[in-house]
Chains A and B, each alone.
Chain A
């Protein structure tokens, strides 16, 4: 009896600890409960698997970019060796984040091949033309009177295609425009040759508004060696009609000449500006990308989930209703069928709830909708062990054994089948946790933890509470344990 009292104090201690934990370390809510965006980024590699080092490298670049974006909270984690999951709580529109993160941001400095000036000029004009067509297209799209306007755009596009001697293969007009623009960009890039200066030689990037108009420019600061390389490159083309191109992900964002005055030393000082008609937003995106460095491997955003804050709080409320009503009805069912024993199992269920939640805040487990359903489902499984035990106790009582004896052997005899039975559920949870997506992991985690805790609460806690109850003479009546109409049997 003394040992049982020890258990009673231990359980009360655990309960107090749980309440303390829950008050001081609130539960972490998943995005489907608090609102926000979640992006899954897939690393693209043509041949072979993504190595651990490559994953780390991509992770660190993305991490830097996210930090430079200035979002208040974020959570980045790797998944399955070649994916990253980025969570942005509270973010209702992940458009900017997706634009900034999705680009490789490979910055190159190239010099023009001699004798290509006329070619370049033609291509630059065509690029301007196609950019205008794209703008006109988006206006035409919104103004609803597409018919004539779109036809003009189509005709203009055909003209450019003839000049380029290239015909597009896309189905719709917008696709064609983009395709031609890409083709022109590629042709322009081909007129320049690579130098050994690249985005790797940057130590910082910034932005400022141009003084003459409302456009923005992006400032680049080179490392020492980068500054030297830049001086050398500019020196080599100063005063000639060869241009210096700054190329981002294969698209030239700026082509500029270097004045004759730099012919002896090149442009020194270790910095440069790109002024390519940037809007405030574009300049900021480029700044963030350059600060984070280029991605060692390209990535693709393969999944985006966005949940509004209002929907999130509705989901919390709904889950709370579901959990509480589940708990209450299971409680009624148990008390109706098992009387005092049922009441004991309700008490252990309440303990079970507290221990579970406390463990979530301790580990920590982020609560999501599937996670909550795992928890609610495990309520049913937690009483399973109690039912097994109570059925045994009933049988022993029918056989005419004393209450204390029946309780003891009930717990003892049910022990092995309870542990056995739960093993298969745990096996499933384990596999789900190893192979599942983030979404699924939440369910596996809460169900698995639930099954483990239920072994403790339904075996140990209910036994202790029951032992405590029967120290009171008035609670030892047999008909408190068996419904009367069944007793005659």
Chain B
């Protein structure tokens, strides 16, 4: 089965499509920066701003009774000393009212224990064996954010350096363009997710961006290698050779993406909830990455 992607014919459409996606991402990022309550390009989660997150299960005989978060908060307010922080609390019931998840601003361990005791009084008994509690100080959050941004910049620099040594300038430039395209779109999607579904990003999101960077370049390198190899044989014209090379590597690139997506999909379906958004970000990155390696980067190489 030979593939026959018409790269030369569709160059304009491919580039317009990518520009459209990039614009959409930029709009999301700008909207998120100026028009949301958090005023950041992306909804930064607890890892970066500090706070307290608690998930704990209730012990119920058969079915857990239905509770409204508002009434629980009202009760909490009555017995808590610090009325102020109760106003900033977010409380949710999941899993048929069995699982309680709570977000508050930063608390000390003592305060967090008090909160759990108070909660136990209101909706208890609680199963302490199922507790998942995280307390992150605001100072550490800032530091984590700087760390993540530096890691991202350092590895982008390292990848650019590698590409410039490995290829000539033109190839390196376009591979990098494709890479930034992928990262920007994944970032934009999460900006939108933050605006619409208030999805927050944590340090694992930064990890997924870094992994996407490594992966996306990997894909592009393989296709560019093929193009260079075929250009040396010099059997057809420049543009035709590029199109041929892309079609020759098409199976490989899609297959690799599929075999990487399958395990990620199983983490999304079966894995722990803490890995859900992480795996989703990676999956999106791999999809966008394969698109840009197969269609965008080679199209950029084409001559008019």
Binding site for B on A (CB under 8 A): 32, 35, 40, 42, 92-95, 98, 137, 141-142, 144, 146, 171-174, 300-311, 314-315, 318-319, 321-323, 325-327, 329-330, 333-334, 337, 369-370, 373, 376-377, 379-381, 383-384, 387-388, 391, 395, 416-417, 420-429, 431-432, 434-437, 439-440, 443-444, 447, 486, 489
Contacts and interface: CB of A to CB of B under 8 A. Distances in A.
Interface stretch (B10-18, B32-40, B262-270): B262-270
A436 B148 CA distance: 7
B87 interface: no
Contacts of A327: 263
Interface of B: 1-2, 56, 78-84, 109-110, 112-113, 127-137, 139-140, 144, 147, 150-151, 154-155, 158-159, 162, 166, 203-204, 206-207, 210-211, 213-215, 217-219, 221-222, 225-226, 248, 251-252, 255-256, 258-267, 269-272, 274-275, 278-279, 282
Contacts of B272: 32, 314-315, 318-319, 369
A441 B42 CA distance: 24
A40 B140 contact: yes
B218 A425 contact: yes
A204 B128 CA distance: 37
The 6 A-B residue pairs with the shortest CB-CB distance in the complex, in nearest-first order? A380-B260, A326-B263, A428-B214, A310-B129, A302-B137, A425-B214
22 contacts: A95-B109, A141-B80, A174-B82, A306-B131, A307-B133, A318-B270, A319-B272, A325-B266, A334-B259, A370-B207, A377-B260, A380-B260, A380-B262, A388-B256, A424-B215, A425-B215, A426-B214, A428-B159, A428-B214, A431-B154, A440-B206, A489-B1
A172 B166 contact: no
B263 A387 contact: no
Contact of A304 (B130, B134, B274): B134
> Which interface residue of A141, A327, A432, A439 has the most chain B CB atoms within 10 A?
A432
Contacts of A424: 159, 162, 213-215, 217-218, 221
B203 A440 contact: yes
A304 B252 contact: no
A310 B158 contact: no
Contact of B256 (A300, A314, A387, A431): A387
Instruction: Report whether over half of chain A's contact residues are helix, strand or loop; otherwise say mixed.
Output: helix
Given A322-B270, A420-B221, 8 more contacts: A95-B110, A141-B79, A144-B78, A304-B133, A310-B129, A377-B263, A424-B159, A489-B2
Nearest to A447: B211
Contact of A373 (B127, B226, B267): B267
A322 B272 CA distance: 9
Given A309-B129, A384-B256, A435 B147 contact: yes
Contact of B225 (A307, A420, A436): A420
Contacts of B150: 435
Contacts of A333: 258-259, 262
Given A93-B113, A435-B147, A302 B136 contact: yes
B264 A380 contact: yes
Nearest to B140: A302
A426 B221 CA distance: 14
Contacts of A303: 134-137, 140
Contacts of B128: 92, 308
Contact of A311 (B80, B132, B262, B265): B132
A170 to B, nearest CB: 11
Nearest to B223: A417
> Which interface residue of B130, B132, B151, B214 has the most chain A CB atoms within 10 A?
B214
Contacts of B159: 424, 427-428
B211 A391 contact: no
Nearest to B147: A435
B279 A373 contact: yes
B133 A305 contact: yes
B131 A311 contact: yes
A422 B260 contact: no
A381 B113 contact: no
Contacts of A35: 129
A376 B268 CA distance: 12
A47 B275 CA distance: 39
Contacts of A40: 140
B139 A42 contact: yes
Nearest to B250: A391
Contacts of B270: 318, 321-322, 325
A303 B210 CA distance: 24
Contacts of A422: 218
A379 B221 contact: no
Given A301-B109, A424-B162, A383 B256 contact: yes
A384 B207 contact: no
B81 A388 contact: no
Nearest to B204: A370
B263 A376 contact: yes
A358 B304 CA distance: 54
A213 to B, nearest CB: 27
B277 to A, nearest CB: 12
A435 B263 contact: no
A420 B210 CA distance: 18
Nearest to B152: A431
Contact of B266 (A322, A383, A444): A322
A423 B158 CA distance: 11
A232 B261 CA distance: 76
Contacts of B262: 326, 329-330, 333, 380
A444 B132 CA distance: 24
Contact of A174 (B56, B81, B206): B81
A310 B140 contact: no
A78 to B, nearest CB: 15
A137 B82 CA distance: 12
A329 B266 contact: yes
Given A42-B139, A173-B81, A304-B133, A440 B207 contact: yes
Nearest to A413: B229
A305 B53 CA distance: 9
A42 B79 CA distance: 32
A387 B259 contact: yes
A319 to B, nearest CB: 6
Contact of B267 (A172, A322, A395, A436): A322
Contacts of A319: 271-272
A37 to B, nearest CB: 9
Contacts of B139: 42, 300, 302
A351 B217 CA distance: 27
A427 B158 contact: yes
B165 to A, nearest CB: 11
B271 A310 contact: no
A202 to B, nearest CB: 28
A32 B127 CA distance: 17
